[in-house]
Amino acid sequence: MEDWQLITWILAGLTAVILLGTVSFKIGLWSGSNNADSDSYKDLIKQAKGSLAGIRNDIKHLLGAMPNPVLDSEGPITLNDLGKSVSTTVGAKEWAVETTPSLEDTVTEKRPYEIQEFCRSFVSDVAFTAEQIGRIESCAFDFGINRNLVFDVMMIELRDALLARGSTLVANENEDS
């Protein structure tokens, strides 16, 4: 091999090494910038999740502040027209009248608000029969409301029955005296 050929091979090899080094360096820079972008995307996603959680809490707060569709709350809480229809359909008043005698001793010394709160917890804790659950769910479906709203109606009917029964008992006691 002649000198000029050897020099050409050396220059070609040196060019190839420089070219490979440059390409490797550029790939490293590109990869590093992608990793940095990846980290910033991860930060952006974390911020978005936090913002969405805040928005979700705001929506829950707004929905909680919306009026109950079956109750009028202009004190004391009463059933509106929809609530009365739900009550009739599910038989809430009849259920309340049947249930009242077993609860009278429990609420004798309670004030009206305490009776209302007692009724709220009683309705949520009572073990309804399968037939009653079926009527409650059917009623909720027919009126396009959730079961909790039917329970609200039942709570008001029970409260009213207990309060009416309590005032009747007090009147009877006063007559006996």
Please check the confidence at residue 156 and state whether its pLDDT lies above 90: yes
Length of the chain: 177
Question: pLDDT-based confidence at 171, cuts 50/70/90?
Answer: very low
Q: What percent of the chain has pLDDT over 70?
A: 83
Q: Where do the H-state alpha helices sit in 66-129? A: 81-90, 92-107, 112-125
- Model confidence at 46: pLDDT above 70: yes
Q: What is the mean pLDDT of residues 101-109?
A: 87
Averaged pLDDT of the chain: 81
pLDDT of residue 33: 64
Q: How far apart are CA 9 and CA 23, in angstroms?
A: 21
* Cβ 119 vs Cβ 155: under 8 Å: yes
Residue 4 CA to residue 63 CA, distance in Å, equals: 86
Reply yes or no on whether the pLDDT at 155 is more than 60: yes
The confidence score (pLDDT) of residue 152 equals: 93
Predicted confidence at residue 177, as pLDDT, reads 46
- How does DSSP classify residue 108? T
Please choose, from the candidates 159, 149, 158, 154, the residue with its C-alpha nearest in 3D space to the C-alpha of residue 76.
159
Q: 96: which residues sit within 8 A by CB, 6+ positions away? A: 154, 157, 158, 160, 161, 162
pTM: 0.59
46: its two tokens? 């974390």
Say what the pLDDT of residue 130 is: 92
Nearest to 89 by CA among 144, 155, 146, 135: 135
What's CA 142's distance to the chain center, in Å? 22
Contact partners, residue 73, CB within 8 Å, separation at least 6: 67
